[in-house]
């Protein structure tokens, strides 16, 4: 591609509204342009990179027997209502007002409706179906350019199996394909156990790219044997020991004490494991809202994702007015005893199992109870893993120290099971002639997010540093036009050889009226791995220059050797 014909609107300065590195660089390198909040146009240079990622994904999907589809981006309401996801997605779903249509945020429903009349016997399985297509999500806070957008390209794949063992095999194939994809895309990534979000289903793993631009927190053990999204992470922490003192509960005055820290200060204690922190959650339901009171140790926090896994995704914290009505007190004085609403469900974290001598709010403002024995005093209490893991704790299995880092989710694989096939009645006849729902898996990759994540990990103060298969071009040929015509003649000849004979994707900076300094800055900014510079000074001695973008290293080479050397460097 000749730069004189290529639309590459580069910018010298960072755009004012961009915070993350990839956002800044993708705008400055002329890859993307914002149309409105969270909505981006892919410009030619960006599109080449996105297509590179798509092709890698396509090859790996085809390698495991994937069938490529292209489904509509709009779909009717009814299939989403049948699976209950119209409600689950809520405001995240774009709805078309003058028709009963939505813009699809994902495509489980549509793929299942194709499977339903077509996969009807056990002989029709297994199948892997996928597409690479636009998805629409009305994200509340689009951010970081294409990392979280309202329209983005997703590769979404679905496995369809007749048996649970079949699902395990499909899932394992997909995991292998994902590892290949992200390795080929040049990403440094971690595979973590994950929460299954709005999709239902059981096992689920995310492909995470550690980066400060990430919105997820992942937990990794020092020995690498444990990796998990913090949303579902567990650790080894000693449970509270039962003291068996059998002291009666006692209410005491705690004026103006609103937080656990203030309570610990007031009681002059540092160990908060016997202070139980209470929060109230509401699970909306057609037959009347359900209330849940959670208890965790004073130095812990409730993990709301774990609550969603237990009670469904629409569970939410109670508002202040609701709190007063349900418990009889404001946030700082809530506890398991003396609740106004007797129907509230009480769930405590496993670390508090059967604890006694607990201190917690008395459901009366400015009062707390001491000597609460959860076993004796709280009938019907249940214990579940509710807490958020903290850094420095140990992994359960190998007792290896845990650290927590920010990461970007680029891919997600999960075993859906039969949730969608049951809801939409997609059934087949098994070997005994019995009707069973199709067993499904769902597997997504964000295309633009994958490219942006690469840029987050591969850049310097000058710009992007492309490498490997994902690089939009492999060489930028820079012609520094001189007074005589030989520079241009050799550049033209090199361009021809590179593109027609050597088949190397080359961007040719053939701009005449642009100063060398600007050309060099642009080349560094857009980050093509090799810069082949042809200028008067070197050419007088029969030489040209190759600069390696990543290291900045410059090689002066005989013009006859330059192209072979470039090809050799690209293989490294």
Residue 410 binding target from ligand ATP, Mg ion, none, CB below 5 to 8 Å by type: ligand ATP
Binding residue for ligand ATP (CB under 6 A) from 85, 148, 297, 370?
A: 148
CA torsion through residues 412, 118, 60, 71, sign: negative
**Cβ neighbourhood burial of 117 (10 Å; 0-12, 13-18, 19+):** exposed
Binding residue for ligand ATP (CB under 6 A) from 297, 449, 547, 549?
A: 449
Sole window of 38-46, 410-418, 424-432, 536-544 interacting with Mg ion (rule: CB under 5 A)? 410-418
Residue 368 binding target from ligand ATP, Mg ion, none, CB below 5 to 8 Å by type: none
Residue among 354, 396, 85 at smallest CA distance from 232: 396
Per DSSP (E only), the strands in 418-470 are: 427-429, 435-437, 439-446, 459-460, 463-464
Is 446 a binder of ligand ATP (CB under 6 A)? yes
Minimum separation from the CB atom of position 570 to Mg ion (A): 35
Q: Considering only residues 81-120, where is the footprint of ligand ATP by CB under 6 A?
A: 106
Minimum separation from the CB atom of position 41 to ligand ATP (A): 15
CA torsion through residues 533, 538, 543, 545, sign: negative
The residue (of 45 and 89) whose beta carbon lies closer to ligand ATP is 89
The residue (of 37 and 503) whose beta carbon lies closer to ligand ATP is 37
Listed in sequence order, the residues at least 6 apart from 408 whose beta carbon sits closer than 8 Å to its beta carbon are 147, 208, 209, 211, 213, 214, 215, 216, 449, 452, 453, 456
Minimum separation from the CB atom of position 413 to Mg ion (A): 9
Binding residue for ligand ATP (CB under 6 A) from 24, 137, 184, 474?
A: 137
Sole window of 15-23, 348-356, 438-446, 472-480 interacting with ligand ATP (rule: CB under 6 A)? 438-446
Q: What is the DSSP letter of 109?
A: H
Q: Considering only residues 398-417, where is the footprint of ligand ATP by CB under 6 A?
A: 409-412
The residue (of 152 and 291) whose beta carbon lies closer to ligand ATP is 152
CB 57 within 8 A of CB 410: no
The residue (of 2 and 51) whose beta carbon lies closer to ligand ATP is 51
Size of the site for Mg ion (CB under 5 A): 1
**Cβ neighbourhood burial of 542 (10 Å; 0-12, 13-18, 19+):** exposed
Minimum separation from the CB atom of position 363 to ligand ATP (A): 36
For the chain, state the CA radius of gyration.
Answer: 29
**In whole angstroms, what is the distance from residue 355 CA to residue 274 CA?**
8
Length of the chain in residues, anyone? 572
Is 420 a binder of ligand ATP (CB under 6 A)? no
Is 412 a binder of Mg ion (CB under 5 A)? yes
Binding residue for ligand ATP (CB under 6 A) from 126, 200, 210, 444?
A: 444
Minimum separation from the CB atom of position 457 to Mg ion (A): 20
Residue 89 binding target from Mg ion, ligand ATP, none, CB below 5 to 8 Å by type: none
Is 28 a binder of ligand ATP (CB under 6 A)? no
Minimum separation from the CB atom of position 411 to ligand ATP (A): 5
SS3 category, 422: helix
Name the strands in the sheet holding 358-361, side by side, starting at the edge strand that comes first in the sequence: 250-253, 367-372, 358-361
DSSP 3-state percent helix, strand, coil across the chain (nearest 5): 30, 30, 40
Residue 415: HSE in the Cβ half-sphere, 13 Å Cα cutoff: 17
Sole window of 42-50, 144-152, 409-417, 425-433 interacting with Mg ion (rule: CB under 5 A)? 409-417
Is 155 a binder of Mg ion (CB under 5 A)? no
Is 387 a binder of ligand ATP (CB under 6 A)? no
Is 149 a binder of ligand ATP (CB under 6 A)? yes
Binding mask 190-209 for ligand ATP (x = CB under 6 A): -------x------------
Is 157 a binder of ligand ATP (CB under 6 A)? no
**In whole angstroms, what is the distance from residue 457 CA to residue 405 CA?**
14
CB 296 within 8 A of CB 386: yes
**In whole angstroms, what is the distance from residue 256 CA to residue 302 CA?**
23
Is 459 a binder of ligand ATP (CB under 6 A)? no
Which spans of this chain sit near ligand ATP (rule: CB under 6 A)?
106, 137, 139, 148-149, 152, 154, 197, 409-412, 444-446, 449
Residues at the contact surface with Mg ion, assessed by CB under 5 A: 412
């Amino acid at each position: 591609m000749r730069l004189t014909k290529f639309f590459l609107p580069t910018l010298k300065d960072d755009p004012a509204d961009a915070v993350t590195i990839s956002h800044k660089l993708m705008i400055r390198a002329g890859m993307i342009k914002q149309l409105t909040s969270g909505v981006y146009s892919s410009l030619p240079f960006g599109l080449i990179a996105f297509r590179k990622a798509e092709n890698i994904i396509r090859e790996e999907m085809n390698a495991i027997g994937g069938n490529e589809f292209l489904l509509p981006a709009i779909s009717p309401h009814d299939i989403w209502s049948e699976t209950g996801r119209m409600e689950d997605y809520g405001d995240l779903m774009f709805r078309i007002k003058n028709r009963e249509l939505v813009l699809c945020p994902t495509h489980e429903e549509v793929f299942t409706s194709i499977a339903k009349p077509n996969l009807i016997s056990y002989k029709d399985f297994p199948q892997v179906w996928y597409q690479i297509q636009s998805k629409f999500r009305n994200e509340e806070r689009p951010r970081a350019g294409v990392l979280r957008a309202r329209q983005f390209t997703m590769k979404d794949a679905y496995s369809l199996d007749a048996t649970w063992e079949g699902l395990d095999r499909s899932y394992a194939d997909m995991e292998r394909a994902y590892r290949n994809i992200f390795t080929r895309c040049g990403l440094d990534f971690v595979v973590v156990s994950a929460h299954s979000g709005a999709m239902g289903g059981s096992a689920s793993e995310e492909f995470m790219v550690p980066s400060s631009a990430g919105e997820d927190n992942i937990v990794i053990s020092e020995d690498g044997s444990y990796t998990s999204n913090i949303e579902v992470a567990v650790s080894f922490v000693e449970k509270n020991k039962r003291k068996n003192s059998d002291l009666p509960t006692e209410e005491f005055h705690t004026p103006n004490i609103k937080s656990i820290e203030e309570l610990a200060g007031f009681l002059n204690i540092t160990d908060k494991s016997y202070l139980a922190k209470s929060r109230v959650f509401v699970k909306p339901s057609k037959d009347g809202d359900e209330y849940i009171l959670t208890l965790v140790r004073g130095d812990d926090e409730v993990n709301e994702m774990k609550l969603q896994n237990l009670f469904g995704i629409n569970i939410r914290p109670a508002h202040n007015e609701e709190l007063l009505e349900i418990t009889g007190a404001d946030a700082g004085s809530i506890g398991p005893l003396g609740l106004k609403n007797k129907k509230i469900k009480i769930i405590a974290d496993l670390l508090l199992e059967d604890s006694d001598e607990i201190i917690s709010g008395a459901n009366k403002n400015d009062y707390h109870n001491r000597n609460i024995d959860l076993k004796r005093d709280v009938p019907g209490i249940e214990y579940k893993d509710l807490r958020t893991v903290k850094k420095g704790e140990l992994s359960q299995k190998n007792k290896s120290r845990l650290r927590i880092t920010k990461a970007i989710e680029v891919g997600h694989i999960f075993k859906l099971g039969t949730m969608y096939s049951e809801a939409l009645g997609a059934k087949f006849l098994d070997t005994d002639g019995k009707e069973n729902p199709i067993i499904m898996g769902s597997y997504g990759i964000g295309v633009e997010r994958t490219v942006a994540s690469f840029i987050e990990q591969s850049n310097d103060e000058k710009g992007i540093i492309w490498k490997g298969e994902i690089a939009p071009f492999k060489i930028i040929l820079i012609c520094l036009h001189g007074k005589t015509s030989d520079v241009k003649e050799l550049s033209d000849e090199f361009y021809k050889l590179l593109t027609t004979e050597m088949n190397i994707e080359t961007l040719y900076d053939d701009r005449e009226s642009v100063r060398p300094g600007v050309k060099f800055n642009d080349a560094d900014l857009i980050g093509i791995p090799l810069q082949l510079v042809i200028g008067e000074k070197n050419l007088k001695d029969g030489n040209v220059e190759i600069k390696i973008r990543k290291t900045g290293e410059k090689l002066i080479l005989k013009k006859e050797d330059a192209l072979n050397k470039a090809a050799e460097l690209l293989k490294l």
